[in-house]
Amino acid sequence: MLNSSLRALASALAQRQVSSVELTRAYLARIERLNPRLNAFVTVDPEASLAQARAADQRLARSEAGPLTGIPVAHKDIFCAKGWRTTCGSKMLANFVAPYDAHVVERLNAAGMVSLGKTNMDEFAMGSSNETSHFGPVRNPWALDRVPGGSSGGSACAVAARLAPAATGTDTGGSIRQPAALCGISGLKPTYGLVSRYGMIAFASSLDQGGPMARSAEDLALLLNAMAGFDPRDSTSLEREPEDYTRHLDNPLEGVRLGLPREYFAEGVAPEVARTVEQAVAVFRELGCETVEVSLPNMELSVPVYYVLAPAEASSNLARYDGVRYGYRTPQYRDLLDMYMKTRAEGFGAEVKRRILIGTYVLSHGYYDAYYLQAQKLRRLIAQDFRRAFERCDLLLGPTSPTTAFPLGSRLSDPVQMYLSDIFTIAVNLAGLPGLSIPAGFDAEGLPVGLQIIGNYFAEARMLNAAHQYQRLTDWHQRVPPGIEEG
């Protein structure tokens, strides 16, 4: 069962080959056994999970089940879940219990999925390696001395290590796609506004987007069917007719035009990553795709633009953590101002403080026009580059990350090097486009390489079709980290 697709699990549940309670217990047992060395989960509540599983079994018995009913899922600890500790990987919220469900959690609960627990993440989603978490780093199941990527590293690790068949994640600058690539799973960042941000603890509101993480494109399509939908509580949620994201999965790719941005195949990409991506492109050609070279000339500006805009929004969003109403409060203080200062100094980690300082600086009087306003203008140019590229092609293809998983601790002292881990993913968020990462092979050390597929706005079904057809010819998404199966 541990290597079954979501569709296969749904079939087994429907045919009473296994119950949701049995399936949930199997995953909880693996979490108990393997999590101490992986650190993928920060909160597990077996009683709550099994109660949901029993309710799912009752729905199955009444023949009221949907395609996801009874299937376990892990939630990134950035999503509020009623009655569950929701920490955002931080000391500031280490003991916060959410009083309501995020929209994503609501939707998956309504679909009958069973919450296994909350997964580890970089503090307030700020990081590319899952090393800034207050609860310690997550370890990559393919090599325990390597990072899993971030900030959704706990979710990626959980799926790769078969601690969960699926997970939720969020993507602000690549935080679903990059850990998916480094852990050898599939991850989708939808079009901005397609999945509600209600109840998703904010980092950078114009960039944040929730999405699914699973083993295959087919699994992602099933999850997105449940997650996507209009939510009036989120002012950026898009009101669109519901889609079935599985509808194009089996379409042939004959004549599909794939754009290969020259900037994604330039210097800075590890040779083995570049070679693996080129081999994946060859598979798509076998499937009947045409390839065309395109250019995204302003892509090199995406990292500096992102690290002006995202910290600026973070500076504003994180102002609410002052120790007054909820979250951490310093135990000793003289007056209200002293409490504010000590609470934030003690409650935030180094990377979060760094970004708050940068964001406050670029928004300050005298620097707003020079930095923040200029970054917004460049953001528009980056989006226009994608628009021109999609006039010549249907989808864009390239590496998700310039390297495979790097050693734990190797980039913590060099923030710029860490930020460059997301050089191929950030532009997608700045433009609000959908992006998808799927496994495409391994390097000489046995570490996964991710292939990124980028689509135009609302092209999720077409992207998932391309990924599914690729996965029908390859088995990279079915590979299991050595030693994990025996667990």
Distance CA 315, CA 411 (A): 24
- Long-range pairs of 376-379 with CB within 8 A, sequence gap ≥ 24: 376/309, 378/298, 378/301, 378/305, 379/305, 379/309, 379/430, 379/431
> Per the omega criterion (within 30 degrees of 0), is the bond before 151 cis?
yes
CA angle 350, 101, 330 (to 5 degrees): 35
> Tokens 């950026």 appear where?
236
Phi, psi of 19 (to 5 degrees): -100, 160
Contacts of 4 (CB under 8 A, 6+ apart): 12, 165
Tokens of 310: 């995202």
φ and ψ of 169, to 5 deg: -145, 175
The catalytic residues are: 76, 151, 175
